[in-house]
A and B are shown apart, each in its own frame.
Chain A
Amino acid sequence: DAKTTQPTSMDCAEGRAANLPCNHSTISGNEYVYWYRQIHSQGPQYIIHGLKNNETNEMASLIITEDRKSSTLILPHATLRDTAVYYCIVRAISSGSARQLTFGSGTQLTVLP
């Protein structure tokens, strides 16, 4: 799995968009970008994933650059409950084998009132 680089921490004002960057310059063609988050004292929670097209769901949007070397997770209207550690994970989807998640240290997002 390709290595990812994320800022250690970020702050965001409540109600504003939170933009969390992730660099994955060694990503290969069959690797997807996944985002999970972990709220304090809880297990990680899946947010979104994508290959090369931008993706949006009810939680967030994922913007992947054309060269796929970086991506940004966007929480359009951050709330206090979005305060969490956000993990960017790159890995391939392959059949027939166990595929655990490889987490880095993530970005601690703090949403400020």
Chain B
Amino acid sequence: GAGVSQSPRYKVAKRGQDVALRCDPISGHVSLFWYQQALGQGPEFLTYFQNEAQLDKSGLPSDRFFAERPEGSVSTLKIQRTQQEDSAVYLCASIQGLAGGGYNEQFFGPGTRLTVL
């Protein structure tokens, strides 16, 4: 079956540009996470949605980062006025059930590699 998809796979932005990264989770998955992965490091948590509600955004590094999931399915991570330190791979993961209630495997997309020049 279809897994988590992300688009674009690669994005090059000039410093100061706004970018939007899209995540299509597995159909019917309730929970959705965004992670940021710097080169040579493990992924780091950014934000979490349960359906359309953003329940945790404690990992967002600044107010230039904004995420939404208006209909509880597709999610968009937006970065305004991109900086060079925003260069990273942005990963999306979805879970069938509610995160935390028993163990539900997180299914990850392939990520979007963002390069800010």
Contact of B99 among A32, A43, A98, A103 (CB under 8 A): A98
**Is A100 within 8 A of B102, CB to CB?**
no
Chain B neighbourhood of A106, CB < 8 A? 42
Is the CB of B100 closer than 8 A to any CB of chain A?
Answer: yes
* A79 CB to nearest chain B CB (Å): 21
Task: Count residues of B near A (Cβ-Cβ below 8 Å).
Answer: 31
Chain A neighbourhood of B45, CB < 8 A? 100-102
* A46 CB to nearest chain B CB (Å): 4
**Is B110 within 8 A of A43, CB to CB?**
yes
Is the CB of B55 closer than 8 A to any CB of chain A?
Answer: yes
Is the CB of A99 closer than 8 A to any CB of chain B?
Answer: yes
* A106 CB to nearest chain B CB (Å): 6
Residue of B31, B50, B55, B105 with highest tally of chain A CB at under 10 A: B105
A-side interface mostly: loop
Is the CB of B56 closer than 8 A to any CB of chain A?
Answer: yes
**Is A98 within 8 A of B55, CB to CB?**
yes
Contact of A93 among B42, B44, B100 (CB under 8 A): B100
Q: Which B-chain residue is minimally distant from A94 (CB atoms)?
A: B100
Give Cα distance in the complex from A32 to B105, angstroms.
13
Give Cα distance in the complex from A106 to B44, angstroms.
13
Contact of A103 among B40, B44, B48, B55 (CB under 8 A): B44
Is the CB of A30 closer than 8 A to any CB of chain B?
Answer: no
Task: Count residues of A near B (Cβ-Cβ below 8 Å).
Answer: 24
Is the CB of A44 closer than 8 A to any CB of chain B?
Answer: yes
Which residues 64-94 of A have a CB within 8 angstroms of B?
85, 87, 93-94
The residues of B with any CB-CB pair to A shorter than 8 Å are 4, 31, 33, 35, 40-45, 48, 50, 55-56, 59, 91-93, 98-103, 105-111
The residues of A with any CB-CB pair to B shorter than 8 Å are 32, 41-46, 49, 85, 87, 93-106
Instruction: Known A-B contacts: A46-B107, A87-B42. Give 20 more (CB < 8 A).
Output: A43-B4, A43-B91, A43-B111, A44-B43, A44-B106, A46-B106, A85-B42, A95-B100, A95-B101, A98-B31, A99-B99, A100-B45, A100-B48, A100-B59, A101-B43, A101-B45, A103-B42, A103-B43, A105-B41, A106-B42
